[in-house]
Amino acid sequence: MDTVTVSNSNVLDYLNDPSPRTLGRSPLEWLERLQKPTVIRVAGRDRSRTRAMATLLHGNEPSGLFALHRWLLEQHTPEVNMLFLLGGVYPAKIPPTLSVRQLAEGRDLNRCFKAPFVGIEGAIAEALLAELRKARPECLLDVHNTSGTGPAFAVSITNDAAHQALTSLYTDRLIATDLRLGALMEYSEQEVPTVTIECGGSQDDQAHELAYDGLVRYASRPDVLSLENAEWDIDVLRNPIRVEIALEATIEYRLKPSGQADLTFPPDIEHRNFGVVSTEEPLGWIGEKGLEILTAIGHNRAENMEQILQVKGGQIYPAQAIRAFMITTNPVIAKSDCLFYAVKATGEPIF
Ligand SMILES: [Zn+2]
């Protein structure tokens, strides 16, 4: 027997089959009207099944919000019931809107989907998980943007047919990781196939288009969990290592090093995203401190930099053929998050 749940009503707002009047003319107008993290339910042709999609867990990653607003305005009837979770409404509303990832004193919402559910973000995560448990969706997507520009990819903790089929709604690249951080995609552990979709850069029209096209496919197909219906083969990259730069080190993006920085990358380094880089291809230049300023972190421990990069004549080369991704030319992100991720050219883990 169902019990009436009122406990989430303080944390979340609810919209059922919202009309165009409720939604406003633009996603920004809609965002202005939203007061809390919001659950949106849309009834489908088959009312016995539900698919879920979370987005805006990070307030500065708008592709999913734009896609959802457009899709809702068009008043589609989805194949099955749809449950949408808009997480980071608070940071997204901070002016200038859609520019802040998380509240200044807050936590990263996509690290909060595990106990203890402390603080505002913990309460939101817990309430969203309760909605998922109630709705019992057959699958879940979490739609994000990457920090730099670059091609779309998916991330999951499981690499099976269902996760690959969900990936194929948006992209042909799946990063499978054993890392557990409290991210929403760990809902896979509840036997609900769950995939994070990184649509590409938050400023890219292409990313917004992809988020919309993917949502249309997700909501309109009778079956989104079988690989027979996949549009393309999925390229799986397993357990990438994270390359980080020391906090006190300096990085610059120039065609030639100025001699002032510990690390220099060419300004077009983002073009390396997902491509194979051989041991003969220089990635950039290293200063006098050498590779000491870099660390490589595998899915549960720090590892030896020498397996990834080597220095020849002041230039950095891969120590073995690698594929790197999430390379950014934003020095703030490069320093606060990471320089890039890498796997072997074959897609296998380096460690
Ligand atoms: Zn994100």
pTM confidence score? 0.90
Catalogue all structural domains in the chain, each as residue range(s) with its CATH number. 3-237 (3.40.630.10), 240-344 (no CATH)
- Ligand 1 centroid–CA 199 distance in Å is 10
Task: Print the SS3 string covering 10-44.
Answer: HCCEEEECCCHHHHCCCHHHHHHHCCCCEEEEECC
- Ligand 1 centroid–CA 22 distance in Å is 26
Residue 9 is predicted with a pLDDT of 64
Residue 99 is predicted with a pLDDT of 96
CA dist 27 and 182 (Å) reads 28
- Ligand 1 centroid–CA 142 distance in Å is 9
Write out the chain's pLDDT in tens, 351 residues. 333 344 456 999 999 999 999 999 999 999 999 999 999 999 999 999 999 999 999 999 999 999 999 999 999 999 999 999 999 999 999 999 999 999 999 999 999 999 999 999 999 999 999 999 999 999 999 999 987 778 899 999 999 999 999 999 999 999 999 988 899 999 999 999 999 999 999 999 999 999 999 999 999 999 999 998 777 889 999 999 989 999 999 999 999 999 999 999 999 998 999 999 999 999 999 999 999 999 988 876 777 788 899 999 999 999 999 999 988 888 888 887 789 999 999 999 887
- Ligand 1 centroid–CA 347 distance in Å is 23
- Report yes or no: 35 and 59 within 8 Å, Cβ to Cβ: no
- Report every protein residue that has its C-beta within 5 angstroms of ion ligand 1: 58, 61, 144
- Ligand 1 centroid–CA 258 distance in Å is 33
- Ligand 1 centroid–CA 147 distance in Å is 8
Residue 306 is predicted with a pLDDT of 82
CA dist list (Å): 164 to 135, 184, 319: 23, 17, 30
- Ligand 1 centroid–CA 311 distance in Å is 33
- Report yes or no: 171 and 153 within 8 Å, Cβ to Cβ: yes
- Ligand 1 centroid–CA 234 distance in Å is 22
DSSP state at residue 163: H
